[in-house]
Structure 1
Amino acid sequence: MSFKPSSFSSSSFFFLLFLFFFFASHVSSQACQKTCGQIPIKYPLGTGSGCGDPRFTRYIKCDPDQQTLTLTTHTGCYPITSVDYAKQVIYVTDPSMSTCACTRPSRGFGLDWDAPFSFHDDTVFTLLDCSVDESPVFTPLSNGTGRVSLCDRQSSSICTFLYSNCRAISLINLQVSTCCVYVPLDLGPSFEMDLRKLRCSSYSGFYNLGPGQEPHPENWNYGIALKYKFNVFDEYPVVCGGCERSNGACGYNTQTSSFVCNCPGGINTTSDCFFLYNSASILLPWFSREWVMYPLSWVVIWTVMSLPQRS
């Protein structure tokens, strides 16, 4: 019995080994992540500097340790519970917001004036425990005979249901007259809800009550719905679509803010990531493109090919 060296030379083996590490690194890692916890990340959102749209990076971040997506404004840091990319709506929660589960004192909620967000029409704010004598939402009449409410009178039933059917709030025994439905339009151009100035102790925010759920505040969707736009014309960038279809993440050059496509392995291009797979097909035409996504399979093949052949 004898062995003879394989025709598969050591130089060929190291060449293929180089290709393995090259493509493995490109497939296994990516600077801009596609998810943050359970939330998918798509343009214009990003997971850090250089990812997504630069206008959003200042306000939305992903905590790499906790894997939580958060919105930061001048009034605080708020967890993002979900994102509806089709409707371009971001849903956030405020830990200091009062709900049927718990009532808390709060400072309020505000958006930065230059933030690329606005309150969605479905968002409703209800000011709780407001001072009837001091709150500016109850404006005194010029003749001094009483006060007129600046609240949304057509939605006064919401106050009734909160104060009577919401256990955490009903236990405080507040008068319904101290409640005020305050729609986002009333916040003014600064999008500021300062409860100290409004002389209210807390607030509740919700959206999408659902059909037949108005009398059941325990089933309301508590939180704040924020609308965003891609740009002035609200058009999704065509180049970004091609990037995401090629398994890339839309990002930007941190120096020039110009578009880049972040590909697996952290490589940035100005178009898309299809070149990675096209290059693999040229270098290794006997492999299908799917093999590029499973580089560990190559190790077995290369190992067998590099072994001495028995004769």
Structure 2
Amino acid sequence: MGLKHSSSLFLFILFIFFFLSSRVCSQACLKTCGQIPIKYPLGTGSGCGDSRFTRYIKCDPDQQTLTLTTHTGCYPITSVDYTKQIIYVTDSSMSTCACTRPSQGFGLDWDAPFSFHDDTVFTLLDCSVDESPVFKPLSNSTGRVSLCDRQSSSICNFLYSNCRAISLINLQESTCCVYVPLDLGPSFEMDLQKLRCSSYSGFYNLGPAQESHPENWNYGIALKYKFNVFDEYPAVCGGCERSNGACGYNTQTSSFVCNCPGGINTTSDCFFLYNSASILLPWFSTGAWMMYPLSWVVIWTVMSLP
């Protein structure tokens, strides 16, 4: 009889530890997507990160790529600077020194929780001098004047003279227009069809030493974001991430939750998982998960054995 009790106890405890290991090895909200670390306010899916960002930023679990989605398309996110709160994206339809191609433009949704970073510069390519609204007719009808940034005309010069992909198709430099995101207006919309331009280039962090080398520019779009109105990092989220958790939210109430290893959600942090004297067991009457001292589990097991 004693041997039977010992065997049953051993099998039960073995089952518990195997069950726990399977629960702890995975986490519903991922910490990375490909090579990009994921931190608040970004998330990898529904219930992860900040609910305002979930609609626009997602992680493809198969391709392991983080993407930004707007009404103009889907764009791969190349990196995230969490210190400066900047998201860097790329557009496959954008013209660069490597390849020049037609594009429809790029735009952000009006209610998106981010905007163009000040370091982002756009260059409209091959714009119609006669029809594009970026060229305003003179009052005496003797010609048209550019509404673009005249102080940045050197960018067009280097782009058209030192960029082989553009020079090969013989675009005219006079049809080039440089402007910053502020000129897009409140809708953050760049509709090349309405602007009567065939393509565009976007780049960021363009320093004076790099201006004459368009082949080395950082092609892409830099977007800035804020945590909230006062741009304050939530203290409860900091505690969650320090305990190896991922900040998220309740999909029904939108209230904060800390997603812990094993897909367990709490309203604070995951430090309870590291109490070696405790073990996680389901509380069947409520469907919740509760922490119990390991000694209690052994006592309950022995008492329940026949």
Give me the TM-score of the superposition, normalised by structure 1. 0.87
Deviation at 1:17, TM superposition (A): 1.2
Is the partner of 1:32 in helix, strand or coil?
coil
The CA deviation at 1:8 is 9.3
C-alpha separation in 2, matches of 1:294 and 1:256: 28
Quick one: structure 1 residues 138 and 200, their matched pair in 2 at CA, closer, same or farther if it must change by over 3 Å? same
Identical columns (%): 92
Shift of 1:297: 20
Distance 1:271 1:301, change over 3 A: closer
Cα shift at 1:272: 0.4
**Stretch moving more, 251-260 or 7-16:** 7-16
Contact 2:280 2:290 (8 Å CA) reproduced = no
Q: How many Å apart are 1:241 and its aligned residue?
A: 0.5
CA distance in 1, matches of 2:162, 2:304: 75
- Answer yes or no: is the 8 Å Cα contact 2:280–2:292 preserved in 1: no
| Distance (whole Å) between structure 1 residues aligned to residue 284 and residue 71 of structure 2 | 53
Using the TM superposition, give the Cα deviation of residue 10 of structure 1 relative to its aligned residue in structure 2, in angstroms. 2.2
Instruction: Tell me, yes or no, if the aligned pair for 1:80 and 1:93 is still in contact at 8 Å.
Output: yes
The 3-state SS of whatever aligns with 2:292 is coil
In structure 1, distance between residues paired with 2:92 and 2:208 = 26
Change (3 A) 1:146 1:73: same
Shift of 1:41: 0.6
Distance 1:219 1:296 in 2: 60
SS in 2 for 1:102: coil
Flag structure 2 segments of 5+ consecutive residues without an equivalent.
none
| Distance (Å, rounded) in 2 between the aligned partners of 1:249 and 1:66 | 21
CA contact (8 A) 1:116 1:229 kept: yes
Q: Which residue of 2 aligns with 1:256?
A: 253
SS of corresponding position for 1:17: helix
Q: CA deviation at 1:262?
A: 0.4
Offset at residue 183 of structure 1 (A): 1.0
Give the stretch that moved more between structures: 109-118 or 299-308. Answer: 299-308
Q: Counterpart of 2:185? A: 188
How many residues get paired? 300
Distance 1:294 1:200, change over 3 A: farther
CA RMSD of aligned residues (A): 5.1
How far is the alpha carbon of 1:64 from its aligned partner?
1.0
Deviation at 1:277, TM superposition (A): 1.2
Asked if the contact 2:9/2:301 (under 8 Å) is kept, the reply is: no
Structure 2 CA distance for partners of 1:195 and 1:254, relative to 1, 3 Å: same
Q: How many angstroms apart in 2 are the aligned matches of 1:221 and 1:58?
A: 27
2:281–2:290 contact (8 Å) kept in structure 1: no
Q: How does 1:4-43 map to 2 (within 5 A)?
A: 9-43=6-40
Matching of residues 1-311 of structure 1 within 5 Å: 9-278=6-275, 280=277
SS of residue paired to 2:75: strand
Instruction: Tell me the secondary structure at the aligned position of residue 49 of structure 1.
Output: coil
Compute the displacement of 1:295 (Å): 17
Once the two structures are superposed, what CA deviation does each residue of 1:173-195 show, in whole Å capped at 9, x if it has no partner? 12211000021001001000000
Describe the shift of the 1:305–1:90 C-alpha distance in structure 2 as closer, same or farther (beyond 3 A). farther
CA shift digits 1:32-90 (9 cap, x unpaired): 00111111111000000000000000000001111110000000000000000010000
Would the aligned equivalents of 1:9 and 1:306 in 2 still touch at CA under 8 Å? no
CA drift of 1:21 comes to 2.2
Take 2:63 and 2:80, find their aligned partners in 1: how far apart are those partners? 18
TM-score by length of 2: 0.88
Residues 296, 74 of structure 1: CA spacing in aligned structure 2 closer, same or farther, 3 A cutoff? Answer: farther
- Quote the offset at 1:292 in angstroms: 17
Given that residues 13 and 302 in structure 1 are in contact (C-alpha distance below 8 angstroms), is that contact kept between their aligned partners in structure 2? no
Change in CA separation of 1:184 and 1:22 when aligned onto 2, cut-off 3 Å: same
Residue 251 of structure 2 aligns to a residue whose secondary structure is coil
Q: 2: CA distance between counterparts of 1:232 and 1:221?
A: 30
| Distance in 2, Cα, partners of 1:63 & 1:238 | 29
Cα distance in 1 for residues equivalent to 2:251 and 2:282: 37
Alpha-carbon distance in structure 2 between the residues aligned to 1:300 and 1:132: 83
**Equivalents in 2 of 1:157, 1:294: separation in Å?**
69
